Structure formats: C-alpha cells, structure tokens
C-alpha cells in the first residue's frame, strides 16, 4: 500500500541527498500546467527551497491555459517562472523543412508532434547551463514523467525522457496525485485532465487506454483482455526507445 505522507518525505530526502552528494544547487524544469510538473515543482521547492527552483513556460503554438496553470503553481510555491516562447523558433525551423518539398499536414504530423518536446528539452538544458554560469552552482533538469507513461512508452525519445533526476518516474498516476495532495498542489492543476498540449486530445484518448488500467497491469491486477493486450503491445512496442542495439566487437 502506497503511503503518500511517507513517500513524499522520502522523495524530498532523495532529492536532497543527491544534491548534497554532488554539490548541486538548483533545478530548471518545464512547467506545463499539468499535474506531473506541478508535483515535481512542489517536491523540488520542498527539497531545495523555492529560491533554487526555476520553472519554464515554453509555449509553442500553445493554449493560453497552459501558462496560466503553470503560473498558478509557481505563485503557490513561490518559485520563479521564465517564459520562453518557442513558436518563432518552431516556425523558422518549419520554413527550412517546407523549402525541401511540398509535404502535407498529415505527412508532417508525427514529425511535428515530437519536435516540440525536443525543442523544450533543448531549452531546459540551455537555461540550466545559463543559470549555472550566471548564478553560480549547478542547475539540473529534472524529469516530470511518471511510471504509467514510462510503462507504455508515452514520451518522446530525446525529448521529455531526457533529464538529470527523476523524482516521480516510479510512481503511478494515482500515486503522483496522492503526493501532490500531501504537498498542497492546487487542485486545478492536480486534477486537470492530462493532455500533451500538442495533439488536442487527452492522453487517455490518444493512447486508447486508461491510466487506471495501466496501473493495474503494472501491479499484476486483472483488466479486460482487450485493454491488457493493447497495454502490453504499447509496452513491448516502446522498448526500442530504451534498448539501443550497439555492436560489440569480437575483440579489441
């Protein structure tokens, strides 16, 4: 049974231990306005103090609600927010692609959906290095992903799966919410229907399976056969994102 009070204290100690051991200072993370980044921000503020946490809003043809909810979290926990609009960067890149040929919206769909998290990752690291250089001390880029998403591969390789420390990567969605409730993450953020802010669909609609069923499969509990098969198909189909084949010579 998941003990939210205890696990919350454990995660805070886990972050503090790692920072102390490696003599680190702060954290720069993308704050989307959703629960995962809201809970991770709250954990970082508790572990490092809000003065060492910098949140980024990284709009890229985004809905205005995203930044509004992100700022709500920042205000609640008292950490600094920086807005870096990636729309122009994204559009400038697209112009170079459009110069290559006349590709349809449908043909570019997968390319575009995954470009945004990659630009966001690059921006988080840009800012982490910049703040390390200007404020002194090393800033890390924490990851916001949870176990349910990781299990089915619901992330962009080279995007939101790149980071330096993962506070909630082994927590299921309901456990993330339980930790967020302990920390007092605003309900508007904690209970917002998760979506990627990119495709216009909720995460569950996009995946075609529920987080509840994913959690059950991870825990070995029973779910409907069709859901089970879909979840395992997604899981197995995503393993290539983690296991990169590398040739091993017979001898050196």
Provide CB contacts within 8 A for 128, sequence distance 6+. Answer: 28, 139, 140, 141
Strand partners of residue 195 = 202
Nearer to a copy of itself, 71 or 188 (CB): 71
Q: Is 1 in the site for a copy of itself (CB under 8 A)?
A: yes
CB of 188 to a copy of itself, least distance (A): 26
Three-class DSSP category at 25: coil
Q: Is 185 in the site for a copy of itself (CB under 8 A)?
A: no
Kindly tell me which residue out of 16, 193, 240, 242 binds a copy of itself, with binding defined by CB under 8 A: 240
Kindly tell me which residue out of 20, 100, 222, 225 binds a copy of itself, with binding defined by CB under 8 A: 100
Nearer to a copy of itself, 82 or 181 (CB): 82
Contact between residue 86 and residue 127 where contact means Cβ atoms under 8 Å apart: no
Nearer to a copy of itself, 111 or 193 (CB): 111
Q: Is 206 in the site for a copy of itself (CB under 8 A)?
A: no
Strand partners of residue 142 = 165
Cβ-based neighbour number of residue 146 at 10 Å:
30
Nearer to a copy of itself, 82 or 227 (CB): 82
Q: Is 164 in the site for a copy of itself (CB under 8 A)?
A: yes
Residues 127 to 146: which contact a copy of itself by CB under 8 A?
127, 129-130, 132-134, 143
Residues 218 to 237: which contact a copy of itself by CB under 8 A?
218-219
Cα atoms in the 13 Å half-sphere on the side-chain side of 210? 7
Rg for the chain, CA atoms, rounded: 19
Strand partners of residue 202 = 195
What six digits make up the tokens of 28? 């720069």
Q: Nearest Cα to 78, choosing from 107, 110, 45? A: 45
Nearer to a copy of itself, 88 or 222 (CB): 88
How far is 234 from 151, CA to CA, in rounded Å? 8
Kindly tell me which residue out of 119, 183, 185, 207 binds a copy of itself, with binding defined by CB under 8 A: 119
Kindly tell me which residue out of 23, 64, 88, 225 binds a copy of itself, with binding defined by CB under 8 A: 88
């Amino acid at each position: 049974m998941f003990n939210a009070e205890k696990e919350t204290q454990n995660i805070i100690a886990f972050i503090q231990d790692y920072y102390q051991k490696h003599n680190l200072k702060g954290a720069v993370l993308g704050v989307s306005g959703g629960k995962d980044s809201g809970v991770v921000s709250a954990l970082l503020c508790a572990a490092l103090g809000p003065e060492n946490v910098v949140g980024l809003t990284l709009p890229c043809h985004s809905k205005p609600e995203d930044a509004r909810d992100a700022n709500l979290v920042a205000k609640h926990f008292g950490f600094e927010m920086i807005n870096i609009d990636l729309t122009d960067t994204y559009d400038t890149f697209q112009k170079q692609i459009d110069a290559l040929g006349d590709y349809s919206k449908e043909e570019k769909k997968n390319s575009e959906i995954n470009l945004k998290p990659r630009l966001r990752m690059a921006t988080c690291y840009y800012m982490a290095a910049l703040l390390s250089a200007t404020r002194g001390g090393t800033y890390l880029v924490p990851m916001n992903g949870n176990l349910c998403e990781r299990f089915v591969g619901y992330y962009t390789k080279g995007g939101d799966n790149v980071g330096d420390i993962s506070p909630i990567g082994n927590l299921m969605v309901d456990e993330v919410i339980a930790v967020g409730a302990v920390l007092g993450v605003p309900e508007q953020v904690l209970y917002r229907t998760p979506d990627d802010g990119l495709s216009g669909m909720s995460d569950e609609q996009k995946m075609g399976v529920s987080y509840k069923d994913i959690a059950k499969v991870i825990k070995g509990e029973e779910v409907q056969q069709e859901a089970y098969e879909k979840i395992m198909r997604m899981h197995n189909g995503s393993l290539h994102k983690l296991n990169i084949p590398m040739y091993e010579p017979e001898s050196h």
